[in-house]
Amino acid sequence: RGGADEVIARLPDGYETMLGRRFSQIGHDGVDLSGGEWQKVALSRAFFRSLDNGTAGAQLLILDEPTAALDARAEHELYERFRELTRDKATLLISHRFSTVRMADVIAVMEDGRITELGSHAELIAKGGTYARLYAMQAERYA
């Protein structure tokens, strides 16, 4: 669900392939992945740990810029599954992309290490503060 399956399918030894620059440089059969591929593997690991596999599963997911290295199509596909993957989990999503944070139930705007605004997308737009100003600046590039 995190997108690692397509990455793993291209690896010479599938799930048995050693990953990392170190393994690929010292003559082992390792593979170093691209930034987007690493991100898909990391997201898949996080989502796997959050599943209830007969255990309690992780109840909190912390994702810091989870789609920064993904192309637009891969980002869209991930967020199509995001609500399903995070259902019944508390998720702290850190991002500068307003297309990402817009879907959050509660958005916290941080400035100088402090939360200066808190609310839903609609509430923060109506407030007309920092969030609204920055959202308009990012949206302007797409209009």
Please name the residues in contact with 136: beta carbons below 8 A apart, sequence gap of 6 or more.
Answer: none
pLDDT of residue 31: 82
Q: What is d(CA 91, CA 60) in angstroms, rounded to the nearest whole number?
A: 6
Q: What is d(CA 31, CA 22) in angstroms, rounded to the nearest whole number?
A: 9
pLDDT of residue 120: 95
Tens digit of pLDDT for each residue in 108-142? Answer: 999 999 999 999 999 999 999 999 999 999 888 87
**Band of pLDDT at residue 9, cut at 50, 70 and 90:** very high
* Positive or negative: CA dihedral 26, 10, 79, 140: positive
CA angle 25, 45, 22 (to 5 degrees): 10
Tens digit of pLDDT for each residue in 49-75? Answer: 766 554 556 678 788 888 787 788 888
pLDDT of residue 136: 94
CA distances from 24 to 1, 5, 88 (A): 27, 20, 39
Residue carrying the six token digits 């898909």: 40
Tens digit of pLDDT for each residue in 15-57? Answer: 888 887 765 555 566 788 888 888 888 878 877 776 655 455 6
* pTM reported for the whole predicted model: 0.69
Mean pLDDT of the 86-100 span: 83
Is residue 91 scored above 70 in pLDDT? yes
